[in-house]
Amino acid sequence: MPGRFASVGLAGLRDTHAALNAVRAYLDDRLAFFAGLLDETGAAVPCRLVGGGYLLNSPEDIRHVLVRNPSGYVKSRRLAGPAAAYPTQNVLLTSRDLKHRRRRQLMQRAFRPFVEIVAERTRVNAERLARSLHDGGAVDLTEAMTALVQRSLFEALAASATSETHDRLAAAVRERADAFDSHFVSLLPLPQFVPSAANRRLIRATRELRSAIAREVADRRASAERPDDLLSLLMEASDEDGARLDDHDVREEAISIALTGYDSVTQALQWTLYLLARNRDADEKVAAEARAATSAETSRPYALSVIRESLRLFPPTWIFVRIAGADDRLPSGTTISRGAKLYLCPYVVHRNPHLWPEPERFRPHRFGPDARNGRPRYAYFPFGGGPHVCIGEVLAVTQIAIVLASVVPRRRLTLPSAQTVVPYAGLSLRPSAAVMMHAQARA
């Protein structure tokens, strides 16, 4: 008996030690922690973090969770719980099942014309940025891309608002994103009712967003004219039964789009231009393709391959978390218990050498017309998948393509030799510090 208890005690100590090591590794470097759980065979690997869970390495397991059994898994409580990233639980991003299907149908009707509006604003602002880049001048890429994306987004969201209102919206979105970042990566985040400095910033930014958007909605209700923007589209959209959004839902959906839309596109643009700066041949091909285009609508397949490869290497949404609503069994054979947490990490799966030969290399031809070569569908999922796939996928890719077509043919952006760009995994995958570049005129 003593030997039995001693063995149990030693096992418990070993488990505790392993869990502490896992927590330490996670806090030191989240990307390295999850990359260390990569299993090229596709096995689901246990995570020894608070709450346990598994990292899913198999595209078929990922497909099962996102596509085949999406109602069996709920989003992370940090996204859809009482202390969530987003101000309300009734928006498309956080709703479920029938509510989600009906809201997505309605939102898609508003989103299609919204993409065209954002595209036009992005084109105008990108052209302005390209003209402002002086030969030999220094460029804070982080600041430039943030300003460009935010300006384009808020001009398309609330066209009749003053520039002061746009600036207030942008400042509030930034403040909320910055404040929530530490909450997102913490192992034990404080509930939002705790009056910490970060929570106070979250509450203040949310109030500012709601107040500004509510005033814009009220102005539209009081006016016979509706500007051509997202708020008007949301106010006029209806589902197949004719149901429309009330003013509260218009406001909350607009805020949700503002919160999710600017950051992911900003980071994707930074990473794409960074990769082009490091790969001169690809940069020259993008520039030549853009110069050869006969119109803004001309297809640019090589630039699209560059964007997709950039999203493979540096997906802004670097991880998705799902929680099992019931016991389940994954295609790989792993039994999942109710309440188990599953980590679906594009950053890791996109670097699996079994799925992606030479995964760390930037190779746009992976996404050429005939390059899939039987690769599993969910070997690549920068925007998620299934019924909850990001509604903004087309919008994001469109904006990035427009910026490349406007800036790259005019200026070559180069990295200072002393600069090292390191990814940071927070609410999104972003450079850990501002990315500085030099602009050079094209020959």
- What is the per-residue pLDDT for 408? 96
3-state secondary structure 403-424: HHHHHCCCEEEECCCCCCCCEE
- The CATH homologous superfamily of the domain defined by 37-441: Cytochrome P450 (1.10.630.10)
Per domain, the residue ranges of the chain are 37-441
- DSSP state letter for 330: -
Token pair for 24: 């330490």
Confidence grade of residue 3 (pLDDT, cut at 50, 70, 90): low
The model's pTM: 0.90
Is a pLDDT exceeding 70 seen at residue 81? no
Largest CA-CA distance found in the chain, in angstroms, rounded: 84
Provide CB contacts within 8 A for 433, sequence distance 6+: 421, 422
Q: How far apart are CA 119 and CA 209, in angstroms?
A: 23
Q: Tokens for 95?
A: 């709703």
Q: Please write the tens of the pLDDT for every residue from 196-218.
A: 787 888 888 889 989 999 999 99
What one-character DSSP code corresponds to residue 341? E
Tokens representing 173 are 């979105």
Residues comprising the chain, all counted: 443
**Model confidence pLDDT, tens digit, residues 333-349:** 999 999 999 999 999 99
User: What are the pLDDT digits (tens) for 42-78?
Assistant: 999 999 887 779 999 999 999 999 999 998 998 876 5
Burial class (CB in 10 A: 0-12, 13-18, 19+), 73: buried
Which of 97-106, 252-261, 394-403 is predicted least confidently?
Answer: 97-106
Angle at CA 341, nearest 5°, toward 339 and 342? 135
Give residue 329's Cα distance to chain centre: 28
Determine contact, residues 186/50, Cβ cutoff 8 Å: no
Percent of residues, the chain, with pLDDT higher than 90: 54
Roughly what angle, to the nearest 10 degrees, separates helices 97-132 and 141-157? 120
370-411 pLDDT, tens per residue? 776 778 999 999 999 988 888 889 999 999 999 999 999 999
Residue with the bigger pLDDT between 265 and 183: it is 265
* Residue where the block lists tokens 């760009």: 421
DSSP one-letter code for 65: I
Residues whose CB is less than 8 angstroms from the CB of residue 339 and which lie 6 or more positions away in sequence, other chains included: 323, 324
Angle (CA) 311-54-318 rounded to 5° is 15
The one-character DSSP state at 377 is G
Q: Are 429 and 312 in contact (CB under 8 A)?
A: no
258 band by pLDDT with thresholds 50, 70 and 90: confident
Question: Looking at residue 75, what is its pLDDT?
Answer: 80
Read off the pLDDT band of 96 (50, 70, 90): low
DSSP readout, 23-55? HHHHHH-HHHHHHTT--TT---EE--STT--EE
**Interacting residues of 259 by C-beta distance below 8 A, sequence separation 6+:** 85, 86, 173, 176, 177
More confident residue, 329 or 418: 329
What is the phi-psi region of residue 350: left when phi exceeds 0, alpha when psi lies from -120 to 50, beta otherwise? alpha
Q: Name the region of 97 (left: φ>0; alpha: ψ -120 to 50; beta: rest).
A: left
- Checking if the pLDDT of 82 tops 80, the result is no
- C-alpha R_g of the chain: 23
What SS3 class is residue 106? helix
- Kindly report the average pLDDT of the chain as a whole number: 87
Of 335 and 102, the structure prediction assigns the larger pLDDT to: 335
Which amino acid, one-letter code, is at 114? F
Residue 213 — left, alpha, or beta (φ > 0 → left; ψ -120 to 50 → alpha)?
alpha
The structure tokens listed for 266 are 């900003």
Which residue reads 């066209």 in tokens? Answer: 159
Q: Which has the higher per-residue pLDDT, 369 or 293? A: 293
